[in-house]
């Protein structure tokens, strides 16, 4: 993974479904070795943007580059070796065991001439260990708790050995303890040098774990940067249509967002936010 310059970049990216645009003219540089969180109200475009960055959705205009190379010009296998994607609410095959599910993450490294090898087993074991799921290897996925299941899915993505992880709401439907558990795993991966981009709904958790926050409203970026600079009362009001009190956590110095009441209207004007590299 490169140590300088953005690894993953969106250039004038517009995305949508059919002829309906959802995300408009996005310029975004994702800093390598960082954790970036996309936040915004429902239908703000955050999941659509993540799908575009993952090449799961073709651009209506603009492009996404990986180390300067247009993502659309790369083979799916080449992309999968560099970018690991975990969609919302993935579904495991009935009865599959944890070890077998995680082993599916090795598919980008296999070919007609290269089947499963002992080094694949080592990667699977390491991926399970990284997510503290090694003891689950022989369990059936459908027997696991929500938090355990999510750690196993992340282990499967790690088994691809990607440099970039893109995760769409990996903490949805989890209680607070399991949400923290999953986010701690992702912070550990950043500490190992990986780049992580994820969608979250909980603004205080986003502020606690993110290096950078990107706030979307109406399919456009209205704020980006460090949590304390982006998750202000004004920005939260524009993005979510609420009045909020933003306090400072005395232990971490990071924002704590307390919703107070709903505003009359949500502001979707992106203002003067132009192209910027997340610091």
Instruction: Identify whether the C-beta of residue 172 lies closer than 8 Å to the C-beta of residue 202.
Output: no
Phi and psi, residue 149, nearest 5°: -60, -40
Q: Per-residue confidence at 173, pLDDT binned at 50, 70, 90?
A: confident
Instruction: Identify whether the C-beta of residue 66 lies closer than 8 Å to the C-beta of residue 79.
Output: yes
Mean pLDDT of 28-41: 96
Both structure tokens of 253: 């110095």
Q: Is the pLDDT of residue 11 over 50?
A: yes
Nearest to 221 by CA among 29, 17, 18, 86: 29
Q: Is the pLDDT of residue 236 over 60?
A: yes
Q: How far, in Å, are 7, 57, 74, 158, 247 from residue 3 at the CA level?
A: 9, 28, 22, 20, 34
Q: Is the pLDDT of residue 3 over 90?
A: no
DSSP of 55-103? TSS--SEEEEEETTEEGGGS-HHHHHHHEEEE-SS--PPTT-BHHHHHH
Which pLDDT score is estimated for 22?
97
Q: Is the pLDDT of residue 174 over 90?
A: no
* SS (HEC) of 231-242: CCHHHHHHHHCE
Which pLDDT score is estimated for 261?
81
Nearest to 138 by CA among 190, 103, 86, 184: 103
Q: Is the pLDDT of residue 265 over 60?
A: no
Calpha distance 51→239 (Å, rounded):
20
Q: Tell me: the pLDDT tens digits for 109-133?
A: 775 455 566 688 999 999 999 999 9
> Can you give the pTM of this predicted structure?
0.88
Q: Tell me: the pLDDT tens digits for 15-25?
A: 999 999 999 99
Which pLDDT score is estimated for 271?
44
Mean pLDDT of 83-90: 92
Nearest to 268 by CA among 216, 203, 213: 216
Which pLDDT score is estimated for 107?
86
Q: Is the pLDDT of residue 277 over 90?
A: no
Let me know if domain 8-259 sits in CATH 3.10.20.740. no
Which pLDDT score is estimated for 5?
43
Both structure tokens of 118: 């002992």
Q: Is the pLDDT of residue 4 over 50?
A: no
Which pLDDT score is estimated for 116?
60
Q: Per-residue confidence at 217, pLDDT binned at 50, 70, 90?
A: very high
Q: Is the pLDDT of residue 278 over 70?
A: no
Residue in the block written with tokens 């050995």:
161
């Amino acid at each position: 993974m490169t140590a300088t310059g953005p690894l993953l970049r969106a250039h004038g990216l517009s995305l949508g479904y059919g002829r309906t645009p959802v995300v408009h003219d996005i310029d975004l540089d994702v800093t390598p070795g960082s954790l970036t969180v996309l936040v915004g109200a429902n239908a703000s475009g955050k999941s659509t943007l993540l799908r575009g960055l993952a090449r799961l959705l073709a651009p209506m205009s603009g492009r996404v580059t990986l180390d300067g190379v247009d993502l659309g010009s790369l083979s799916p296998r080449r992309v999968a070796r560099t970018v690991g994607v975990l969609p919302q609410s993935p579904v495991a095959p009935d009865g599959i065991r944890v070890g077998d599910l995680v082993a599916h993450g090795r598919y980008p490294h296999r070919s007609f001439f290269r089947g499963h090898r002992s080094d694949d087993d080592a990667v699977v074991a390491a991926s399970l260990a990284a997510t503290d799921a090694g003891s689950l290897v022989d369990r059936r996925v459908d027997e696991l708790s929500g938090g355990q299941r999510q750690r196993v899915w992340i282990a499967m993505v790690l088994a691809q050995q990607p440099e970039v992880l893109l995760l769409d709401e990996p903490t949805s439907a989890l209680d607070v303890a399991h949400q923290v558990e999953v986010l701690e795993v992702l912070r550990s991966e950043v500490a190992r040098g990986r780049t992580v981009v994820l969608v979250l709904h909980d603004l205080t958790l986003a502020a606690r774990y993110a290096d950078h926050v990107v706030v979307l409203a109406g399919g456009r970026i209205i704020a980006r940067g460090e949590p304390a600079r982006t998750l202000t009362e004004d920005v939260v009001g524009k993005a979510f249509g609420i009045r909020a009190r933003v306090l400072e956590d005395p232990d971490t110095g990071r924002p704590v967002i307390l919703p107070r009441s709903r505003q009359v209207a949500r502001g979707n004007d992106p203002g003067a936010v132009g192209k910027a590299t997340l610091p």
